[in-house]
Structure 1
Amino acid sequence: MAWLVTGGAGYIGSHVVRAFLAEGIDVVVIDDLSSGHEEFVPANVPFVRGSILDGGLLLDTFANHAITGVVHVAGFKYAGVSVQRPLHTYEQNVTATAVLLAAMDSANVRRMVFSSSAAVYGTPHTDLVTEATPKSPESPYGESKLIGEWLLRDMAVATGLNHTSLRYFNVVGSGTVDLRDTSPHNLFPLVFDALLAGRIPRINGNDYATPDGTCVRDYIHVADLAVSHVAAARRLDAGEPIEAVYNLGSGDGVSVGEIMSTVAAVTGIDFLPEIAPRRAGDPDRIVASGDLAARDLNWQMRHSLDDMVRTAWEAGQAALPV
């Protein structure tokens, strides 16, 4: 028996795959490689190249492999870009999830761990986000993730689907030097690319009501995130009680200024970030509680900020041409 990881050739999905293998659990990967990399998939893991919008391909995958559950990581994950590409975002995140759920139903696969997002909260009016914080997404991306959660909820009523959704903010770091974040939109790759190109990274605003004046956000290490996906799958396999949603949050967060200082220390590239005007609508602090996930999903912050920056930098350096 194996778990199917959709998007398993991507940054987060590939770490989830490694975490399953480390626990002795077989996996199968499906990925269209629109943002993933085939070399991120271990050679001993069955790899299906294609889109989860292809219901026939999904049915074949379920027929050819003994799948017990699905970790659904595939999706279009760029909140800012989703505002310009709403139809694409809904197709990739809502329609594709519906196609996947239909194929699971046909194959009698009744377990899913869904990669959701803290974007479902929008700009919460609280310093500490919990699972009960009102949902008010502010982008097609955030809306599509919330609809994905609704689809799981409704299929649970209709078919008995056992499921949970994991919400998280900013995922960084690397669990191994051969896996890295290659997104052109995420903070760490942007900062590293700027430094390597001789440019000075920029901070948007330093007049927020925080200790150093820069925004405080939740950053979590990708390897810690992956462990909790496996714990959720194990809980579903065992038929143990599980919440419909969990926040994977740090509980305290770090500031953008702290990140920049840590980047300078870890890389050995001394710089002072440029200060740009603050962006409209950016709140001072957004941090999530991970208490429920700590109780049920082996969630904990095993990596410090220094670890997050160092592992991300080492993985990026390992990928540079010799």
Structure 2
Amino acid sequence: MSEVNEEKKVYSLDFNYLYGKPVCQARFKQHCEDFVVEEKLGFELTGEGEHVCLWIKKIGENTDYLARQLAKFAGIMAKNVSYAGLKDRQAETYQWFSLYIPGKVTPDFSQFEAEGVTILKVIRHNKKLRTGCLEGNYFNITLREVSDKPALQLVLDKVQQGVPNYFGNQRFGYNGHNVNAAVQLFNGRRVKDRFKRGMYLSAARSYLFNRVISERIKDNLESTAMLGDCVQFVANRSFFPLPDLSTQTLQRLTDREVCLTAPLWGKGELTSTDQAQQYELACLQEFADLQQGLAKEGLKQERRPLLLIPDAFSYKWLDDETVSIAFYLPSGCYATSIIRELVEINV
């Protein structure tokens, strides 16, 4: 049976910039070594158990492909190899993989060979490393052929105060293809592939989140609390709506004890209230199909910080056209959110 040819909507990915659209251009990821990522698990591995954990340096290699190669070498099924996070292929990455090898002698991974791959450490653990279990990532990014050093210097000094916590545009596909695919899914299109189904749902949810942030930036509300704004404790990620805008409440925001959030859409009522809830509903009123579809799929109403504040931020000019930038981000946050505020990328 042929599929119905539905008219596709173009979902604008032109989200607002916090510091204005960059006037400086640069080259990004000219070499794998220009984008270095190192995972931080946030917990110690036990040294014993049924899972063999590998600390691996890889350059120019796909995470999932490497996982399959490790499974083949160890003589186990591919589903028994996991990792805490997908990493860019065009990068130099340091990340953990875990292999389920119960009751067996640990394979001699010094014999494993793959171009651009070095196994740095082998240690057993009592649990599988699941996607998202890491605490965060350290980044070291080199921008080359910088067109305007003074302009970039100004923004480098600003982004340390925070950038929009956008999901990267790659999540949405060209012209929002993945969001359109989500709409088709909500309208009854069958998607058997669980990965694709999850990708489409994530794209729709992320798009609504980005739209709220973009509107708040346009209205100069990215750092200004409204009555009923849902804030999140920085320490433990639990959230609650602001019952008032007292001096004491606002001081907690200034001190970064709590932070403003935007909705990750799901079933049920928004967790924001009063003025903030009305604002968020108004921002998303033209996307009722996405809201209804996500709720029907059973996703929960959740929240995510509105701004992303990088930790341990530093930079060093290697010459007048090359700068190296280092920072740490919590799990689930994107280095591209910082880069997009700094420069317009030349490819």
TM-score using structure 2 length: 0.26
Asked which structure has the greater RCO (Cα within 8 Å, sep 6+), the reply is: 2
Larger radius of gyration: 2
TM-score by length of 1: 0.27
